[in-house]
């Protein structure tokens, strides 16, 4: 009973907002609509997922095929080779049909020489056609998969170019949904592309060849057989649109499932520690069931359409038989009639192929649209055409009248903030959570642009500096240290992975960061794979690797965002010693709550309500056993 009630309290809701400003194109951003799927779960442990999928109204936007056409053109060689093989295949088939029509008369005449001659000719033609068909499929699959590969690379490059607003906040896309689009839905596009390539030229050639054979044999029977085709095309069009809607629903439910798994699997420690197995099992069951129903509906639809088309074929054959009976009173060459029936059967094959390709297109259109939607988000952080490169900066930083908020309908995070940090100076920021400390670091890295005001580095507006050049000069070390699956050396030399890793510099950086000692205890030292997100290392070891990575990069400006929090006393001591080595001769912005870390700074500021206030270091130290400022005592530990 409890299970039944729990599932009934978790409905799957589909909401379609009437307007938004998340997705834009060069033509008109208002032509897009966002579909948001929200999973509402029990109130005690509610969680929701928002999946955005833009839809382009057919009345004002081109077909999704226009999106993939540049990638198809880059695969022109295998496409032309495949189509050449299809022409050879159709030529063999067209030549074999008259030979096949003469088989009954040859058998009736009981002429061994003629039977052997025609049989060998047929065997040669059919064998050549089989080879041509194989090569056709091989070349066209090479083109389809190659195009899908290029699309994946293009989309991922565009995702990497997006600013942080693409990933964060209410307008962000869940990382699991992005991964699902670039992997699963890109594979669906490969299937669609192959179906289109395999149906356009090859099926058209076979259709023309077999129709010509039929008209040449009997124009009257050809006209009677062709009467069913317009009806069949109308039905295929209607069913194809239906399949597109069903496929779009299946794509969204699959994306929801991927987004959920991407969230829950990295949180397995929390789930197990809080006995969350049962509730997460119910959540997964619900999402998996929705995915099942969506995919089952799509498969049923794909199975139904060929059967409906088959009924039309059978009706056409009945008409053909009736016509044959009507003509049987007159002289009609049965060899020609056999050739006609063979041509008709081979004519049906390309029509079926066109129908299947149309179904694949309608099934693949939602995947194409959702994948290319990732490239249509407008990037707010735009690099100017005449930007400058900075080989090295001294680290002089100025914030002049900086005002910032994450969205129009959200409150100000920073309000007309002014600050000058001299080169080589260490400045600490304290304040309540959500007060804008990390936002200040994001603005300096130009992950966002301020709403108003300017930020200068060595008297250069950061909007006039090339993004890569700016970020080469700044290193962020945060509380949530991000390491990647790979070796220790690869993580330390992260920014230089496209070139040769300088192992001497890697080891020197590790020694200064107090990381060399524990690295050498690992099974393969610097060549040890540390697992996904550095899962084989402790928190302190991860932080020291992050510091070693910063030392290897040789930046001018350091941002330490709670770099020593959540560590035990010994790990904190080792990390603080490493930080002292790292901070020498650098401009440093420290965001911290720990008193020991704050006191490493030359100046301390309180950031609250979007405003900065200078805090004397003496006010942070206890006097007569009591904290000098009760207000500050809540902000430091």
Task: For 350-400, give the DSSP string.
Answer: HHHHHHHHHHHHHHHHHHHHHHHHTTTBPPSS---TT-B--S-----EEEE
Tally of CA atoms within 13 A in the half-sphere of 592 that contains its CB: 25
Q: Which of 35-44, 394-403, 551-560, 599-608 has the lowest mean pLDDT?
A: 35-44
At residue 21, the 3 state secondary structure works out as coil
**Per-residue tokens: 176:** 């699991």
The arithmetic mean of pLDDT across residues 214-232, rounded, is: 67
CB count in 10 Å sphere of residue 452: 12
Quick: pLDDT tens for 32-72.
343 444 443 433 334 444 444 433 333 344 567 788 888 98
Q: Is the pLDDT of residue 144 over 50?
A: yes
Q: How far apart are CA 68 and CA 152, in angstroms?
A: 11
Q: How far apart are CA 171 and CA 371, in angstroms?
A: 17
Which of 560, 555, 557, 520 shows the shortest CA–CA distance to 541? 520
Under a CB-based contact definition with an 8 Å cutoff, are residues 339 and 143 in contact?
A: no
Confidence of residue 462 (pLDDT cuts 50, 70, 90): very high
Residue 593, pLDDT above cutoff 60: yes
- Cα–Cα distance between 445 and 448 in angstroms, integer? 8
Q: How far apart are CA 66 and CA 63, in angstroms?
A: 6
Q: Are 268 and 313 in contact (CB under 8 A)?
A: no
Looking at residue 36, its pLDDT comes to: 40
- Adjacent-strand bridge partners of 439: none
Q: Which domains does the chain have, with CATH numbers?
A: 2-55 (no CATH), 66-256+296-373 (1.20.1560.10), 385-472+589-617+627-637 (3.40.50.300)
Parallel/antiparallel/unpaired status of strands 603-608 and 474-478: unpaired
Give the pLDDT band (50/70/90) at residue 81.
very high
pLDDT of residue 455: 93
Torsion of CA 182, 188, 192, 198, to 10 degrees: 110
Nearest alpha-carbon partner for 207 in 62, 71, 357, 104: 357
Would you call 497 helix, strand, or coil by DSSP?
coil
Diameter of the chain measured on Cα atoms: 123
Higher pLDDT, 93 or 414: 414
Tokens 């006995």, residue located: 275
Q: Match 């402790």 to its residue by tokens.
A: 538
Structure tokens at 68: 């993939």
Instruction: Classify burial at 165, counting beta carbons within 10 Å of its beta carbon; exposed 0-12, middle 13-18, buried 19 or more.
Output: buried
Burial of 252 (0-12, 13-18, 19+ CB in 10 A): buried
Residues 6 or more apart in contact with residue 513 via CB below 8 angstroms: 544, 545, 547, 548, 551, 578, 581, 582
Please give the C-alpha separations between residue 250 and each of 78, 264, 280, 296, 359, in angstroms, as whole numbers: 32, 21, 22, 9, 15
Residue 417, helix vs strand vs coil: strand
Torsion angle in degrees (nearest 10) through CA of 278, 280, 281, 284 = 160
Return the H-helix or E-strand segment holding 122. helix 112-161
Phi/psi of residue 635, nearest 5 degrees: -105, -10
Residue 425: pLDDT above 80? yes
Tokens, residue 588:
């440093």
- Rounded to an integer, the average pLDDT of 328-350 is 64
Please tell me which residue, 593 or 27, carries the higher pLDDT value: 593
Contact 479, 563 (CB under 8 A): yes
Place of tokens 């695969």: 75
Comparing CA positions, the residue from 86, 37, 562, 525 lying closest to residue 256 is 37
Nearest to 58 by CA among 37, 33, 21, 35: 33
Percent of the chain at pLDDT exceeding 70: 70
Rounded Cα distance, 236 and 311, in Å:
13
Average pLDDT over residues 532-537: 79
């Amino acid at each position: 009973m409890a299970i039944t009630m729990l599932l009934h309290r978790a409905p799957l809701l589909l909401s379609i907002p009437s307007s938004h400003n998340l997705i834009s194109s060069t033509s008109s951003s208002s032509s897009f609509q966002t579909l948001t799927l929200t999973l509402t779960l029990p109130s005690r442990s509610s969680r929701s997922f928002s999946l955005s999928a833009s839809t382009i109204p057919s009345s004002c936007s081109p077909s999704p095929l226009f999106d993939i056409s540049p990638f198809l053109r880059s695969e022109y060689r295998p496409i032309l080779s495949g189509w050449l093989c299809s022409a050879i295949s159709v030529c063999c088939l067209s030549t074999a049909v008259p030979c096949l029509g003469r088989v009954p008369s040859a058998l009736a005449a009981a002429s061994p020489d003629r039977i052997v001659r025609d049989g060998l000719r047929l065997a040669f033609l059919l064998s050549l056609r089989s080879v041509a068909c194989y090569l056709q499929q091989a070349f066209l699959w090479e083109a389809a998969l190659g195009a899908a590969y290029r699309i994946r690379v293009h989309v991922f490059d565009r995702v990497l170019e997006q600013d942080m607003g693409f990933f964060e906040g209410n307008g962000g896309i869940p990382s699991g949904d992005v991964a699902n689009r670039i992997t699963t839905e890109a594979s669906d596009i490969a299937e669609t592309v192959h179906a289109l390539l395999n149906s356009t030229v090859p099926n058209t050639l076979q259709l023309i060849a077999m129709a010509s054979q039929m008209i040449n044999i009997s124009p009257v029977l050809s006209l009677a057989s062709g009467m069913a085709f317009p009806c069949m095309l109308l039905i295929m069009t209607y069913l194809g649109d239906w399949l597109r809607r069903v496929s779009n629903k299946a794509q969204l439910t699959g994306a929801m499932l991927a987004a959920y798994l991407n969230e829950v699997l990295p949180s397995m420690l929390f789930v197990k520690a809080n006995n969350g197995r049962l509730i997460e099992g119910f959540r997964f069951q619900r999402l998996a069931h929705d995915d099942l129903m969506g995919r089952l509906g799509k498969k049923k639809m794909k199975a139904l359409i060929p059967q409906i088309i088959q009924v039309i074929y059978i009706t056409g054959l009945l008409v053909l038989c009736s016509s044959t009976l009507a003509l049987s009173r007159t002289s009609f060459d049965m060899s020609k009639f056999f050739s006609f029936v063979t041509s008709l059967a081979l004519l049906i094959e390309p029509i079926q192929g066109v129908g299947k390709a149309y179904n694949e297109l309608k099934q693949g259109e939602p995947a194409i649209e959702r994948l290319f939607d990732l490239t249509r988000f407008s990037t707010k952080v735009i690099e100017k055409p005449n930007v400058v490169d900075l080989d090295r900066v001294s680290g002089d930083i100025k914030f002049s009248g900086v005002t910032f908020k994450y969205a129009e309908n959200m409150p100000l995070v920073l309000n007309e903030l002014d600050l000058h940090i001299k080169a080589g100076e260490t400045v600490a920021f304290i304040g309540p959570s959500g007060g804008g400390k990390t936002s200040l670091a994001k603005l300096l890295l130009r992950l966002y642009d301020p709403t108003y005001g300017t930020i200068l580095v060595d008297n250069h507006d950061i909007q006039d500096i090339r993004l890569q050049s700016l970020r080469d000069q700044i290193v962020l070390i945060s509380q949530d240290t991000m390491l990647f699956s790979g070796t220790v050396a690869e993580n330390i030399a992260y920014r230089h992975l496209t070139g040769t890793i300088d192992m001497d510099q890697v080891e020197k950086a590790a020694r200064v960061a107090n990381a060399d000692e524990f690295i050498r205890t690992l099974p393969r030292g610097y060549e040890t794979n540390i697992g996904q997100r550095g899962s084989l290392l402790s928190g302190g070891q991860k932080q020291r690797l992050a510091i070693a990575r910063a030392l290897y990069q040789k930046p001018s400006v350091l941002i330490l965002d709670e770099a020593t929090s959540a560590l035990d006393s010994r790990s904190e001591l080792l990390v603080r010693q490493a930080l002292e080595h790292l901070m020498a001769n650098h401009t440093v912005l420290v965001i911290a709550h720990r008193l020991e870390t704050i006191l490493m700074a030359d100046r301390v500021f309180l950031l609250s309500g979007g405003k900065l206030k200078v805090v004397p270091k003496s006010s942070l130290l206890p006097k007569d056993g009591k904290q000098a400022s009760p207000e500050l005592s809540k902000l430091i530990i």
